[in-house]
Chain A
Amino acid sequence: MPPPYLLLDRLAKTFGVAGTGTGGGDRGRPVLDGLTLAVDRGEVVALLGPSGSGKTTALRLIAGFETPDAGGGRVLVEGQDVTGLPPARRHFGMVFQHYALFPHLTVGENVAFGLEARRLDRGQVRARVAAALALVDLPGFERRRVGEISGGQQQRVALARALAPEPRVLLLDEPLSNLDPALRERTRRELRRAIRRVGITTLLVTHEQEEAFYLGDRVAVLEGGVLHQAGTPEELYDRPATRFVATFVGRASVLPGIFEGEGVTGRVRVRLDAPAAAAAEAGPGAGGTAGGTAAGDVAWPGVAAERLADGEAVELVVRPEALALVPAGTAGALAGRVAERRYAGPVTYYQVELTGTGLEIEVAAGAGAAAPGDEVAVAPAAAKDGAAGAPGAAGAGGRIFRRAPVRKEPA
C-alpha cells in the first residue's frame, strides 16, 4: 500500500512550556494531543471543531509556524519528513484567516511574491500571475491596490497568491470567516471550483459544519486537541463515532438511559432514566395520564456506537428528523408538551418538553404538525407507520453511547 501523500503522525503541541516556540496560552496546556491523519493526493480534508479544539494549531504545525513538542510527532509529505524545515522551504501554500495581503504591494505584486524566489523571467512571472488571477476569476486585477478591492476579492487574491507558486499542499485557515453570509455562500462555491480545478491536496480549518461538508472530501472532527473522527460527511452525520461528533455535527437531542440488551446493532432497548423516575414518583400509570407511555417502559431503537453490557448507563443521541410527532397516547412513544415551535422553511422544529422530566427533545415535522402548548407524543420517525428504520441509517431511532462518568467539580 503506498504511503499517504500527506501524513500527520502523532502531532502534539503544548503551549506555555519553555522552548516550544511562541504561545501565550495557559502554562503547560496541551492544545493538540497526538493527532494522526493521512491525506491522499488531491484530497480535500476539513479540520472541523469548536474554538480551542486545536485545529488552527494543527494547521500552523503543518505550515511550520509552530514546532511540535519534543518528540511530538512529524509531518510527512510524499514520505519526506518536513517537520524540521522552516515554512519557506516546505512549499506549502497558505490562505490566512484575514488574508494577510501585503498592503504596500499591488494585487499583481502580491500574487508574484511567491514566484520571486523561483528565478523566473519577467514574462513567465507575468504569465503565472495572470493565470492565477484568471483561476480565481479576477483577470486584469494586477494593478489594483489591495485596499481598493472588496473582501471577497481579497479572499480570492489570497488564494491566487497561495496557488501561484504551485505548492505541494494548500492550507486554508478559516478562509471564509471574514465574509458576510451572502458573500460567503458565493465565495465558498468559487473556492471549491478553484480547488477542484487545480486538484491540489488541501487542508482547511473551519468551525462551520456546512463549510466543512461542502468543501471537504473528508472531515476530521477535533475537540480538546483530540481527533474524534475522520470520515466523509455522510459517515459523520449518520454514524458518529463519539457522543461529541454526534452532537457537534448536525442537530441532536441527548437522553440519558440504561442499556438493556446485547449486541451493538438492531432494535435495542434503552430504559430512559429521568422519565422512569418521573413515572415512579407519579405512581403506576402516570405516563399514561399525559397521553403517552410511561417513559421508563419505552424500548427505543438505536445503534450502539461501541460494545455495551446489559445495564450500562448510556446516552441516546437522536436527530430531529429521526423523530416524529404522534398523537398523544400513542403506545411506545414519549409523552410531552410542545414548548416551542420554530419555523425554518422546508422544515419546522418543535421543542417538546417530556412530561415530568424537565428534559427537552427536538423534533422535525411539518409546519402544521402541532402548536405550542399541545399535548403530543414523540416516536422514532419510522415508527409512525409501524416500522422502525434500518439501524445505523439516518432514519434509525438514535445512536447510543456509553455515558461518561460524572466528573466532580472541585469545591
Chain B
Amino acid sequence: MTPSSATAPPAGRRRLPSLPRLPLPRLPLLGAVGLALLLAWLVGYPLLLTLVESFHGPSGWTARWFADFFRRPDEWLALWRSLWISLASVALAAAVGVPLAFIFERADFPGRRFLGAVAALPVALPPLVGVIAFLFLYGESGFVSRAVQALLRLDHAPWRLAGPGAILLVHTYSFYVYFYLFTRAGLARQDAALLEAASSLGAGAARRLWRVTLPLLRASLVTAALLTFMTALASFSAPYLFGGGFRVMPTQILASKLNGDRQMSQVETVMLAAVALAGLWASQGTGAGGAPASGVRGVAPARRRVGAPLTRAAVAAAGYALALVLLLPHLVMALISLVPAGTWIAEPFPPVLNLRNYAQLGDREHLRPIVNSLWMATAATAAAAALGLAAALAAVAARRRTGQPGGRLSGRLGSRLAGRLGSVLGSQLGGVLETLVGLPWAIPGTVFAIALATTFSVDAPWLGRFVLIGTPVLLPLAYLVRSLPLTGRAALAGLRGMDPALAEAAAALGAGRLRTLRRVILPQLRPALAAGAGLAFITALGDFVTSIVLYTYDTRPISIEILANVQLQDLGMGAVYGVLLMAGSAVAFLLWSPAEGR
C-alpha cells in the first residue's frame, strides 16, 4: 500500500492543486445545492445541534454545563491526557516509523521487499483487534507475560498492561505505519540529483539529511503527524480497555453518557471537536499535503547495498525479528481462536486446540454480528462512494461556473444579477462541498456518534430530525458519515490528478459531456474511488468507536461482539471474530490494491 490522497488529511486550500477544468455534464445549480444540503444535514447539522444543545438546558439557554466542565478537574485532566497522549503517540510513532522508512527505502539487504510489506501490516489490523491481540500477547495472562513469568520463576505476572504506558504501546504499534508509509512515499519521490548537488557543494551525510532530505520530507512528515494526532485523539479502544481510571476525552464522553449525564457528554463532545479542529488549524501552513514545487523530478536515490556479509546477516536477522514482532498479534489472534472456552486456565500454552469455536458460527446468534457488520459496512460504503463521487463531480462542475456569467441560470433568467449570483454561488458551492466531504475526517468518531445520537433521538421532521436511535438505520448512517472523507477525497484527488487533455481529446472526437464522463472520466477515476471505497469498507467493518455509542443488541457489529466475548472471558470466540475481521479487512485490502495499481 502507498499512502494515497484518500488517506491524506485535508491540506490548506492554498496548497492544493486546483481542480481541472473538465467538460462535465452541466449540473443544474439546484441539483448541486440539493446535494450540498443533503451533506450539510448528514455532516454539519448533527454537530451544530450538539453545539446548540450543549448550551440548552430544561429552562432555556445556559452556559451552566460549560461552567461545570471548566470547574471540574477530572474534565480538565481528561482533556489534558487526550492532548499529551496524542502528542506522545506522534513522537513515538515517528521515532519508529521514520527510521524504518529510511532503512527500507535507502538500504538493500536480503528480504527487503517482503519485510517492507510486513512492516505495513498494522494498517490492515482493525483498532479493536489490535488492542485485543496486545491483551492476548502482553496482558497479565498473555503469552509473553506468562513466558517471562515462567522464565524468571515469578509468583505473579511481571507487568500489568494498563495505564498510559499500555495505551502508548498500542498507539505506537498501530500508528507508526502512518509515518512509515508517508516517509517511504516521500523518500521514493525525492530526486537523487538533489543529494548529489548537496554533496558536490560540500555537504556531508548529516548536513544532507538536515538541509535537504528532511526539509523535502516535511509535507510527508506533517501529514503523517497530523494523521497520527487525529487518530490518537479519537482513539477509543486502547484507552477503553487499558485505561482503567486513566480517562481520556473519548472514554470520558462515553462514561458521562452511560451515567445519564447527557448534557455533560455533549459539552465534552464539543470540547473534543474543538481540540481536533484546533489541531487541524495549527497544521495549516506547515506544508501538510503539499510538496515544494520543483522544476523537474529525476529518479530517487539508489538503495545502498549493505556490503559486509556480517552486517547483511545482522540487518536481515533484525528485519525478520521485527517482522515476527509485527506478525505476532495476527498469529496470536489465530491461535487463541482455536482455544475452546474453559480449557486454558494456568498453562503457559493452551492445552487444547480445535475448531469448535468456528463451528459455533453456524448458530444464528453467533452469526448475527458478522451479517450485521457485512451489510452495514457494504451499505455505508456504497452510499459513501456514490455521495463522495457526486460531491466531487459537483465541486468540479460548480467551480466551472466561476467566471462564466453566461451560465444556464443567467441565460434562462436573462439578468446580469442572476448571472453574477450563479457565478458566485457556483464558486462558493465547490468549496462548501469539499469542506463538507472532508469535515468528518477532523472530527473524532465519538463526537459524531454523540452528535448523531443527539440529532436522531427526537421526532421533528420539519427540523430534519427523526427517531433513528434503536433502528438498524443509525449505525450504517454513522459509518456513512465517517466514510465520506475517504471516498469523497479519493474522488477529488482522482479528479485533481486527471489530465484535462484526455477529456478534451474525447470532446474533439465528438463525445458529448455525458459520454466523456462515462467513457473517459469515470474509468480514470475508478482506481482512486476503489481505493477510497476499500478503506471505507475496512473502517466500517472494524468500527468500534461509533458502534459502542449507537449499537443495539440486534444491530451489534463484530467489534461489539469481540468486546462482549472478552468481557465474558470467552477469549476463543472473541478471537474467532477478530480473525474474521482481519480476514475481511485483508480481502478488502487485496481487492482494492490491484485497482490502485491499474
Contact in complex: B295, A87 (CB < 8 Å): no
Q: In the complex, A165→B198 CA distance in Å?
A: 12
Q: What are 20 A-B contacts defined by CB distance under 8 Å?
A: A22-B302, A64-B199, A86-B199, A86-B204, A87-B199, A88-B200, A88-B202, A89-B202, A92-B200, A94-B200, A96-B193, A100-B193, A100-B196, A102-B194, A102-B197, A102-B216, A104-B215, A104-B218, A117-B203, A162-B201
Contact in complex: A98, B296 (CB < 8 Å): yes
Given contact pairs A103-B294, A104-B292, A178-B296, A94 touches B197 in the complex (Cβ within 8 A):
yes
Q: Which residues of A contact B200 (CB under 8 A)?
A: 63-64, 87-88, 90, 92-94, 162, 171
Contact string, B413-442, partner A, CB cutoff 8 A, digits 1/0? 000000000000000000000000000000
> Is B293 an interface residue, CB under 8 A from the partner?
yes
> Is A5 an interface residue, CB under 8 A from the partner?
no
> Is A65 an interface residue, CB under 8 A from the partner?
yes
> Is B498 an interface residue, CB under 8 A from the partner?
no
Contact in complex: B196, A63 (CB < 8 Å): yes
Contact in complex: A94, B204 (CB < 8 Å): no
> Is A259 an interface residue, CB under 8 A from the partner?
no
CB within 8 Å of B: which residues of A? Answer: 19, 22-24, 63-65, 86-94, 96-105, 113-114, 116-118, 145-147, 151, 154, 161-162, 165, 171, 178
Contact string, B187-210, partner A, CB cutoff 8 A, digits 1/0? 000010110111111111001000
> Is B160 an interface residue, CB under 8 A from the partner?
no
Contact in complex: A100, B199 (CB < 8 Å): no
Q: In the complex, A116→B202 CA distance in Å?
A: 9
CB-nearest residue of chain A to B196: A65
> Is B211 an interface residue, CB under 8 A from the partner?
yes
Q: Which residues of A contact B193 (CB under 8 A)?
A: 96-98, 100
- Distance between A45 CB and nearest chain B CB, rounded to angstroms: 18
Partner of A65, one of B199, B201, B291, B295: B199
> Is B58 an interface residue, CB under 8 A from the partner?
no
CB-nearest residue of chain B to A149: B295
Q: A98-B193, A103-B216, A116-B211 are in contact. List 19 more A-B contacts (CB 8 A).
A: A65-B199, A87-B199, A88-B200, A94-B196, A99-B295, A99-B296, A100-B191, A101-B294, A102-B198, A102-B216, A103-B292, A103-B293, A114-B202, A117-B203, A117-B207, A146-B293, A147-B293, A162-B201, A171-B200
> Is B298 an interface residue, CB under 8 A from the partner?
yes
CB-nearest residue of chain A to B214: A104
- Distance between B475 CB and nearest chain A CB, rounded to angstroms: 45
CB-nearest residue of chain A to B199: A87
List residues 292-325 of chain B with CB under 8 A from any CB of chain A: 292-298, 302, 307
CB-nearest residue of chain A to B202: A117
Contact in complex: A151, B196 (CB < 8 Å): no
Contact in complex: A91, B202 (CB < 8 Å): yes
Q: Which residues of A contact B212 (CB under 8 A)?
A: 102
Contact in complex: B196, A87 (CB < 8 Å): yes
Size range of the interface on B? 20 to 34
Q: In the complex, A114→B191 CA distance in Å?
A: 18
- Distance between B233 CB and nearest chain A CB, rounded to angstroms: 29
Q: Which residues of A contact B191 (CB under 8 A)?
A: 98, 100
Q: In the complex, A118→B207 CA distance in Å?
A: 13
Q: Which residues of A contact B307 (CB under 8 A)?
A: 19
Q: Which residues of B contact A100 (CB under 8 A)?
A: 191, 193-194, 196-197, 298
Q: In the complex, A64→B204 CA distance in Å?
A: 13
Contact in complex: A114, B199 (CB < 8 Å): no
Q: Which residues of A contact B298 (CB under 8 A)?
A: 98, 100
CB-nearest residue of chain A to B203: A88
Q: Which residues of A contact B197 (CB under 8 A)?
A: 94, 96, 100-102, 161
CB-nearest residue of chain A to B291: A103
Q: Which residues of B contact A161 (CB under 8 A)?
A: 197, 201
- Distance between B212 CB and nearest chain A CB, rounded to angstroms: 6
Q: In the complex, A363→B384 CA distance in Å?
A: 71
Contact in complex: B302, A147 (CB < 8 Å): no
Q: In the complex, A357→B568 CA distance in Å?
A: 96
Q: In the complex, A98→B293 CA distance in Å?
A: 14
Contact in complex: B196, A101 (CB < 8 Å): no
Contact in complex: B302, A88 (CB < 8 Å): no
Q: In the complex, A64→B202 CA distance in Å?
A: 12
Q: Which residues of A contact B302 (CB under 8 A)?
A: 22-24
Q: In the complex, A296→B570 CA distance in Å?
A: 101
Listed from nearest, the 4 A-B pairs whose CB atoms lie closest are A147-B293, A114-B201, A100-B193, A103-B294
